[in-house]
Structure 1
Amino acid sequence: MQKRNPRPLFSAAVLAVAGAMACTPCLRAAEKLVLYGGHAKEATRFQFDNGKFVAPDQAAIDRQDVKEWWISGKQENAQAAAAVAPSGPAPAAADEIQTLTEYRRQGEEMAARLPGCRGVYILDDGTFMLTHDHRHVYRYHFVGLVLNESLVEWGSLKLGFSEGHSRQKILCARSLGPDGQVHVLAPQDIQVSQPQRGDVYFDPDARMMSGTIPGVGVGSVVEYIYEYEQYAPEDWRLFFPGYYFQMDLPLVRSVLTVQVPIGTPLYSWEENWNGYRPAKRPMPVLGALLRWIIPQRSPAKKSCVEVEGKWYDSRTWEKTQVPPIVTEPQMPPNDEVAPAVHASLFKTWDYLNDLTGKLQVERMKVTPEIEAKVAEICAGCTTTEEKVARLYHWVQKNIRYISVKSSLSSGWAGHPATETLAQGYGDCTDKSMLFSTLLRCIGVESDPVVLRTNDEGEFIPKFPVLACNHCITEVQLNGKSMFLDCTSQDHRYPALRSDDHGVICYNFIRDQRPIIPVPPGMLAYGKATAEQMTVTADGNLRVTTANRYSGDYEYRLRAGWKRVPEKARHQILQQFVNGIAPGARLGDFSITDPQDLNVQFKLDFTYDLPSYLIQAKDLRLFQVPDREEEFPEISLDARRYPVIYPTAEATEREIALELPQEFRIVEMPPNVNIRSRHVTYSETWTATGNRVTLRIAFERRSRRIPVADYPEYRRTLQQITAATRRPLYLEATPTAAPAK
Structure 2
Amino acid sequence: MLKDSCKILLIISLLIISCTIGVSAAEGLNSLITNSPSQADYPEAGALVLKDYIVADYTKKEAEIYQDNIIKIFNKRGIKKFGEFKIRFDKSAESIEITEAKTIKPDGTVVKVKPKDIKEITPPSANNSVYSDARIKVVTIPALEPRSIIVCKYLRKVKKATINGEFSLIERFQYTEPIKNKKLIVKVPSDKEVNYRTKLMDLEPIIKREGEAKVYTWQKEDIPAIVPEPAMPPLMNVAPVVELSTLKSWSQVIQWYNGLIDNQYKVNDKLKTKIKELTKAAKSKEDKMIALYNYVTSQIRYVGLEYGISGYKPHTAIETYQNKYGDCKDKATLLIAMLKEIGVKAEPVLINRSWNPDLEIVSINQFNHMIVYLVNEDKYLDPTNNGTMYGVLPGDQGKKVLLPLANKLAQTPIMAAKLNQSIVKQEVSLKEDGSAVIDYLEEYTGVNDYIFKDIYSRYTPKQQELIIKQGISRGFASANGVNPIILGVDDLNQNLKVTIPEMKVRNYAKSMGNLLALSPMRFPVSLAQIVASEKRIYPIYLSSTSDIVRRVEIQLPQGYKVNYMPEEIKLENKVGKLSASYTKENNKIIFDFNLKINKQEIEVENYKLAKELLGQAGVVVQNQILVEKK
Q: Larger deviation: 512-521 or 579-588?
A: 579-588
AA at the equivalent of 1:100: L
Could you tell me how far apart the structure 1 residues matched to 2:409 and 2:132 are? 33
Shift of 1:347: 2.1
Matching residue of 1:689: 586
TM-score (norm 2): 0.88
1:229-257 Cα deviation digits (max 9, x unpaired): 22344633341111111112111000111
1:434 matched to 2:339? The reply is no
AA at the equivalent of 2:340: R
* 1:313/1:691 CA distance change after superposition, 3 Å: same
Shift of 1:638: 1.4
**1:190, 1:209 within 8 Å by CA — same for their partners in 2?**
no
Could you tell me how far apart the structure 1 residues matched to 2:162 and 2:396 are? 29
AA at the equivalent of 2:29: L
1:345 matched to 2:246? The reply is yes
**1:176, 1:182 within 8 Å by CA — same for their partners in 2?**
yes
Shift of 1:184: 4.5
Matching residue of 1:264: 192
Shift of 1:91: 11
Could you tell me how far apart the structure 1 residues matched to 2:231 and 2:91 are? 40
Q: Describe the SS at the equivalent of 2:207.
A: strand
Instruction: Trace 1:592-607 onto structure 2 (pairs within 5 A).
Output: 592-606=487-501, 607=503
Matching residue of 1:98: 27
1:554-608 Cα deviation digits (max 9, x unpaired): 2233334444434455444332221112111134542225223223332211322
* 1:164/1:598 CA distance change after superposition, 3 Å: closer
Matching residue of 1:537: 432
1:173 matched to 2:69? The reply is no
Could you tell me how far apart the structure 2 residues matched to 1:485 and 1:165 are? 27
**2:389, 2:493 within 8 Å by CA — same for their partners in 1?**
yes
* 1:404/1:585 CA distance change after superposition, 3 Å: same
**1:167, 1:231 within 8 Å by CA — same for their partners in 2?**
yes
Could you tell me how far apart the structure 2 residues matched to 1:667 and 1:205 are? 64
Shift of 1:616: 4.0
1:305 matched to 2:210? The reply is yes
AA at the equivalent of 2:412: I
Could you tell me how far apart the structure 1 residues matched to 2:213 and 2:138 are? 33
1:462 matched to 2:367? The reply is no
1:395 matched to 2:296? The reply is yes
**2:126, 2:132 within 8 Å by CA — same for their partners in 1?**
no
Could you tell me how far apart the structure 1 residues matched to 2:79 and 2:524 are? 44
1:54-77 Cα deviation digits (max 9, x unpaired): xxxxxxxxxxxxxxxxxxxxxxxx
Could you tell me how far apart the structure 2 residues matched to 1:204 and 1:684 are? 52
Matching residue of 1:443: 343
Matching residue of 1:425: 325
Shift of 1:639: 1.1
Shift of 1:141: 0.7
**2:161, 2:167 within 8 Å by CA — same for their partners in 1?**
no
Shift of 1:646: 2.6
1:113 matched to 2:8? The reply is no
Shift of 1:707: 0.6
**1:651, 1:698 within 8 Å by CA — same for their partners in 2?**
yes
Q: Larger deviation: 659-668 or 592-601?
A: 592-601
**1:107, 1:120 within 8 Å by CA — same for their partners in 2?**
no
Matching residue of 1:579: 474
1:15-60 Cα deviation digits (max 9, x unpaired): xxxxxxxxxxxxxxxxxxxxxxxxxxxxxxxxxxxxxxxxxxxxxx
**1:642, 1:705 within 8 Å by CA — same for their partners in 2?**
yes
Matching residue of 2:67: 140
Q: Describe the SS at the equivalent of 1:555.
A: helix
Shift of 1:683: 2.1
Q: Give the superposed CA RMSD.
A: 3.0
1:483-541 Cα deviation digits (max 9, x unpaired): 111012112223x1321111111111111221111111232x31334431111111112
Could you tell me how far apart the structure 1 residues matched to 2:104 and 2:122 are? 34
Could you tell me how far apart the structure 1 residues matched to 2:580 and 2:142 are? 64
Shift of 1:415: 1.2
Q: Give the counterpart of 1:502 among 379, 398, 402.
A: 398
Matching residue of 2:10: none
1:452-472 Cα deviation digits (max 9, x unpaired): 12xx33321312123222111
Instruction: Trace 1:271-282 onto structure 2 (pairs within 5 A).
Output: 271-274=199-202
1:667 matched to 2:568? The reply is no
Which blocks of at least 5 consecutive residues in structure 2 are unaligned?
Answer: 1-18
Instruction: Trace 1:148-167 onto structure 2 (pairs within 5 A).
Output: 148-152=75-79, 154=82, 166-167=94-95
AA at the equivalent of 2:59: T
TM-score (norm 1): 0.76
Shift of 1:192: 7.2
Q: Describe the SS at the equivalent of 2:338.
A: helix
Which blocks of at least 5 consecutive residues in structure 1 are unaligned?
Answer: 1-89, 275-297, 734-740
1:635 matched to 2:532? The reply is yes
Instruction: Trace 1:405-424 onto structure 2 (pairs within 5 A).
Output: 405-408=306-309, 411-424=311-324
**2:520, 2:552 within 8 Å by CA — same for their partners in 1?**
no
Could you tell me how far apart the structure 2 residues matched to 1:209 and 1:628 are? 42
Could you tell me how far apart the structure 1 residues matched to 2:408 and 2:482 are? 54
Shift of 1:369: 3.4
* 1:196/1:598 CA distance change after superposition, 3 Å: closer
Shift of 1:161: 6.7
AA at the equivalent of 1:446: A
Q: Describe the SS at the equivalent of 2:379.
A: strand
1:72-95 Cα deviation digits (max 9, x unpaired): xxxxxxxxxxxxxxxxxx997121
Matching residue of 1:608: 504
Matching residue of 2:51: 123
Q: Describe the SS at the equivalent of 1:492.
A: coil
Q: Describe the SS at the equivalent of 2:357.
A: coil
Q: Give the counterpart of 1:474 among 362, 373, 380.
A: 373
* 1:507/1:105 CA distance change after superposition, 3 Å: farther
Q: Give the counterpart of 1:558 among 437, 453, 458.
A: 453
Q: Describe the SS at the equivalent of 2:385.
A: coil
Could you tell me how far apart the structure 2 residues matched to 1:197 and 1:696 are? 42
Could you tell me how far apart the structure 1 residues matched to 2:20 and 2:263 are? 60
Shift of 1:150: 4.8
**2:521, 2:621 within 8 Å by CA — same for their partners in 1?**
no
**2:178, 2:225 within 8 Å by CA — same for their partners in 1?**
yes
1:638-686 Cα deviation digits (max 9, x unpaired): 1111111131111233332210123211222222221111211112322
**1:126, 1:255 within 8 Å by CA — same for their partners in 2?**
yes
Shift of 1:724: 3.6
Could you tell me how far apart the structure 1 residues matched to 2:229 and 2:120 are? 40
Instruction: Trace 1:723-738 onto structure 2 (pairs within 5 A).
Output: 723-733=620-630
1:230 matched to 2:151? The reply is no
Could you tell me how far apart the structure 2 residues matched to 1:144 and 1:443 are? 58
**1:126, 1:139 within 8 Å by CA — same for their partners in 2?**
yes
Could you tell me how far apart the structure 2 residues matched to 1:603 and 1:213 are? 47
Could you tell me how far apart the structure 2 residues matched to 1:622 and 1:214 are? 57
**1:488, 1:497 within 8 Å by CA — same for their partners in 2?**
no
Could you tell me how far apart the structure 2 residues matched to 1:653 and 1:271 are? 43
Shift of 1:544: 0.6
Q: Larger deviation: 462-471 or 246-255?
A: 462-471
**2:428, 2:554 within 8 Å by CA — same for their partners in 1?**
yes
Instruction: Trace 1:193-208 onto structure 2 (pairs within 5 A).
Output: none
Matching residue of 2:6: none
Could you tell me how far apart the structure 1 residues matched to 2:562 and 2:616 are? 24
Q: Describe the SS at the equivalent of 1:715.
A: helix
Structure of larger gyration radius: 1
